[in-house]
A and B are shown apart, each in its own frame.
Chain A
Amino acid sequence: DTAVSQTPKYLVTQMGNDKSIKCEQNLGHDTMYWYKQDSKKFLKIMFSYNNKELIINETVPNRFSPKSPDKAHLNLHINSLELGDSAVYFCASSQEAGRGEKLFFGSGTQLSVL
């Protein structure tokens, strides 16, 4: 069983569209994250949820809206997609928040905006 699974793996779409990426973890962790990896491989945190509550919200356009229906799921919805949104998006989880614990990553969603 995959510990952190995200879908889809690839997403190709036109500018202006709205799309969602889903993430689920079966590790029983309390905390989940979204990271964005750009073309230079830099990985930046976008959001973090602890037990369904938003705890980290970096400087991300409000076109990006995370939703956590329960602590095992964290989805990312993106409105009005722009060319600059093209990147690989990673979901991750950790046992607790705020302790710098190791992260478990999903395999990524490669988003290409045309």
Chain B
Amino acid sequence: SQQGEEDPQALSIQEGENATMNCSYKTSINNLQWYRQNSGRGLVHLILIRSNEREKHSGRLRVTLDTSKKSSSLLITASRAADTASYFCATAHQAAGNKLTFGGGTRVLVKP
């Protein structure tokens, strides 16, 4: 079964608003990563957060990790139309040789 599961499956917001999506997983992780996929393209790595970290920032992106709840969130602040994409979380589990396991993604539509 998929380890990382994103919520919501889809999100529609106006430009300038913030977008928040969540990822839950089942077993202990080494790290958790977020990726973006534009329509018809490959996935692009956004940010990696390790199991001993609680928060990380990159530009307009903020990622939190709560290992006690086995969940992470990705916040995109001041969204732009160009942020329209699918966002995936991926988890690396030491017990599984740290191979990355992806969820089904959150489809984000930012309306101008």
A residues near B, CB below 8 A? 4, 35, 40-45, 48, 56, 90, 92, 98-100, 102-108
Contact = CB atoms under 8 A, between A and B. Distances in A.
B8 to A, nearest CB: 14
A3 B97 CA distance: 25
Nearest to A9: B40
A102 B33 contact: yes
Band of interface residues on B: 20 to 34
B97 A90 contact: no
B26 interface: no
Contact of A107 (B41, B90, B101): B41
A41 B104 CA distance: 6
B65 interface: no
Contacts of A4: 42
Contact of A100 (B30, B41, B44): B30
B41 A56 contact: no
A100 B86 contact: no
Contact of A90 (B2, B42, B98, B103): B42
Contacts, number: 57
A56 B42 contact: no
Nearest to A43: B102
Interface string B75-112: 00000000000101010100001111111110100000
Contacts of A105: 35, 42-44
Interface string B16-44: 00000000000000110101000011111
Which of the listed residues A42, A100, A105, A107 has the most CB atoms from chain B within 10 Å of its own CB?
A: A100
A34 to B, nearest CB: 12
B45 interface: yes
Given A98-B97, A98-B98, A107-B42, 12 more contacts: A4-B42, A41-B86, A42-B104, A43-B102, A45-B99, A56-B99, A90-B42, A102-B33, A102-B48, A103-B43, A107-B40, A108-B40
